[in-house]
């Protein structure tokens, strides 16, 4: 029995398909989800989402959000979901540099949190793109 994975961002439904398994970065560590997983809802953190389907692995950079697992349906609501092949390394590096420079300034708590979130998402994309880059 396969799992259904739905990935939704504020802009669009990024993915809605049958998969074999998925590994998700959470605030309690990475969790692996296979068919018949117990019902669960947990926070997702910026990082690498690994999807397995028919022996192939697909990687996504993910931002913050929540994941719900119920009856073999996984719903990921996140502020970022970018397929590895769609990551623009230069844009992610530029965003990382801007965020790091901004963090050196005196920021309000809200500005700091927003800037830090941008930094985490940029770093997640860069890690995926650079780790899996074909030389």
Q: What is the pLDDT of residue 122?
A: 77
Q: Could you tell me if 101 and 70 lie in one domain? A: no
106 against 24, higher pLDDT: 24
Residue 135, pLDDT above cutoff 50? no
Residues 59-68 as b or e (16 or more Cβ within 10 Å = b): bbbbbbbebe
* Average pLDDT value over all residues in the chain: 86
Q: Could you tell me if 51 and 110 lie in one domain? A: no
3 against 125, higher pLDDT: 3
Q: Which of 3-7, 44-48, 58-62, 92-96 has the highest mean pLDDT?
A: 3-7
pLDDT tens-digit series, residues 55-64: 999 999 899 9
User: Number of structural domains, the chain?
Assistant: 2
Write down which residue in 84, 99, 120 finishes a domain. Answer: 84
* DSSP secondary structure string for all residues of 68-104: EEETTEEEEEES-EEEGGG--HHHHHHHHHHHHHHHT
Q: Could you tell me if 109 and 77 lie in one domain? A: no
Contact present, 29 and 42 (Cβ < 8 Å): no
Q: Could you tell me if 94 and 116 lie in one domain? A: yes
Q: Could you tell me if 54 and 114 lie in one domain? A: no
Range of the domain at 40: 3-84
Residue 134, pLDDT above cutoff 60? no
Q: Could you tell me if 77 and 122 lie in one domain? A: no
Q: What is the mean pLDDT of residues 92-114?
A: 77
Q: Could you tell me if 66 and 90 lie in one domain? A: no
Q: Could you tell me if 57 and 107 lie in one domain? A: no
Q: Could you tell me if 13 and 70 lie in one domain? A: yes
């Amino acid at each position: 029995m396969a799992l259904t994975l739905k990935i939704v961002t504020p802009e669009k439904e990024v993915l809605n398909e049958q998969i074999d398994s998925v590994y998700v970065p959470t605030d309690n560590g990475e969790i692996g989800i296979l068919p018949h997983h117990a019902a669960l809802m947990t926070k997702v953190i910026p990082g690498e989402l690994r999807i397995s389907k028919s022996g192939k692995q697909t990687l996504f950079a993910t931002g913050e959000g929540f994941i719900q697992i119920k009856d073999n349906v996984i719903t990921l609501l996140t502020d970022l979901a970018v397929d590895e092949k769609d990551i623009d390394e230069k844009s992610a590096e530029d965003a990382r540099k801007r965020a790091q420079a901004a963090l050196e300034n005196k920021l309000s708590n809200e500005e700091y949190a927003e800037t830090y979130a941008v930094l985490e998402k940029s770093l997640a994309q860069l890690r995926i793109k650079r780790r899996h880059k074909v030389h």
